[in-house]
């Protein structure tokens, strides 16, 4: 299964979430609100929550909406018949660096050391490399979020511009 940027580990960024949420029907938003984020619920548990919130719908319609929410990437069927909402990353989670990269512990004469010490040195270098990669991945994710926000803003501006062009064409009787 291919995940888009910002959805690694079952999470998506706020821009993606808002964009997908804006395209949902009112019923789909209500059903999404009844799907938990920290637990996987069955259809009957979700239906019970819908009833508790005075939202009337039948099981077939709920199942169909759950399928479309899953296709939209807002929920995931954790095990057959149990759904959970994907978590939304905050900008702080994306940009936070969990820890400073440690300096590698490498002996000067690794060739003269015993094989266990050499393996230990290599393992330390791999750990440092993994931390550096994690930091780099966070930086890439931050830039991706910025680019995605800019694209979203430009898309909104283009929609407004197109609406203005259409309005002007209607008012002035010409085309652009």
Domain CATH number, residue 55: 1.10.10.10
Domain stop point among 27, 61, 88: 88
Among 10-14, 109-113, 123-127, name the most confident range.
123-127
Q: What is the residue range of 134's domain?
A: 99-172
Percentage of residues in the chain having pLDDT higher than 70: 78
Q: How many domains does the chain have?
A: 2
Are 105 and 124 in contact, with CB atoms under 8 Å apart?
Answer: yes
pLDDT in tens, 74-121: 999 888 999 998 888 766 655 554 444 555 445 455 455 688 888 888
Q: Is the pLDDT of residue 51 over 90?
A: yes
Q: Are residues 19 and 53 in the same domain?
A: yes
Higher local confidence (pLDDT), 61 or 127: 61
Give the per-residue pLDDT at 66: 94
Residue 89: the pLDDT is 74
Same domain, 75 and 107: no
Same domain, yes or no: 15 and 82: yes
> Which residue from 86, 91, 90, 46 is spatially nearest to 70, judged by alpha carbons?
86
User: Is the same domain home to 118 and 82?
Assistant: no
Q: Over 80: is that where the pLDDT of 41 sits?
A: yes
In a domain, 1, yes or no: no
Mean pLDDT within 24-30: 91
Give the E-state strand segments of the chain in sequence order.
11-12, 41-42, 75-79, 82-85, 87-88
**Percent of the chain whose predicted confidence (pLDDT) is above 90:** 28
Residue 79 lies in a domain: yes
| Same domain? 20 vs 68 | yes
Q: What is the Cα–Cα distance from 74 to 88, expressed in whole angstroms?
A: 9
Answer with the one of 88, 118, 144 that is the final residue of a domain: 88
Q: Is residue 67 very low, low, confident or very high in pLDDT (cuts 50, 70, 90)?
A: very high
> Taking a C-beta distance cutoff of 8 angstroms, is the pair 69, 75 a contact?
yes
DSSP 94-134: HH---SPPPPP---TTTTTS-HHHHHHHHHHHHHHHHHHHH
Which tens digits make up the pLDDT trace of 135-175?
A: 888 888 888 888 888 888 898 899 999 999 999 998 887 65
58 and 108 inside one domain: no
13 and 84 in a single domain? The answer is yes
Provide the pLDDT for residue 113: 61
In a domain, 3, yes or no: no
**Residue 78 within a domain:** yes
Please indicate, yes or no, whether residues 20 and 64 belong to a single structural domain of this protein: yes
Burial of 25 (0-12, 13-18, 19+ CB in 10 A): exposed
Q: Are residues 68 and 30 in the same domain?
A: yes
| 94 falls within a domain | no
Give whichever of 8-17, 79-88, 130-139 has the largest mean pLDDT.
Answer: 79-88
Q: Are residues 60 and 30 in the same domain?
A: yes
SS3 of residue 174 by DSSP: coil
The last residue of one of the domains, among 88, 115, 130, is: 88
* Residues 109 and 159 placed together within one structural domain of the fold: yes
Measured between alpha carbons, how far is 42 from 32 in angstroms, rounded to an integer? 13
- Same domain for 57 and 103, yes or no, is no
């Amino acid at each position: 299964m291919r995940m888009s940027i910002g959805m690694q580990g079952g999470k998506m960024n706020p821009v993606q979430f808002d964009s997908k949420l804006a395209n949902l029907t009112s019923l789909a938003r209500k059903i999404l609100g009844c799907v938990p984020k920290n637990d996987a619920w069955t259809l009957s548990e979700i239906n019970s929550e819908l009833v508790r919130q005075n939202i009337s719908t039948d099981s077939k319609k709920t199942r169909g909406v759950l399928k479309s929410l899953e296709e939209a990437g807002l929920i995931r069927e954790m095990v057959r018949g149990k759904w959970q909402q994907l978590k939304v990353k905050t900008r702080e989670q994306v940009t936070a660096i969990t820890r400073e990269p440690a300096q590698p512990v490498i002996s000067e004469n690794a060739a003269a050391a015993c094989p266990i010490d050499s393996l230990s040195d290599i393992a330390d270098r791999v750990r440092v490399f993994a931390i550096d990669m994690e930091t780099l991945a966070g930086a890439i994710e931050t830039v991706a979020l910025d680019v995605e926000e800019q694209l979203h803003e430009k898309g909104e501006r283009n929609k407004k511009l197109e609406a203005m062009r259409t309005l002007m064409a209607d008012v002035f009787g010409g085309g652009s």
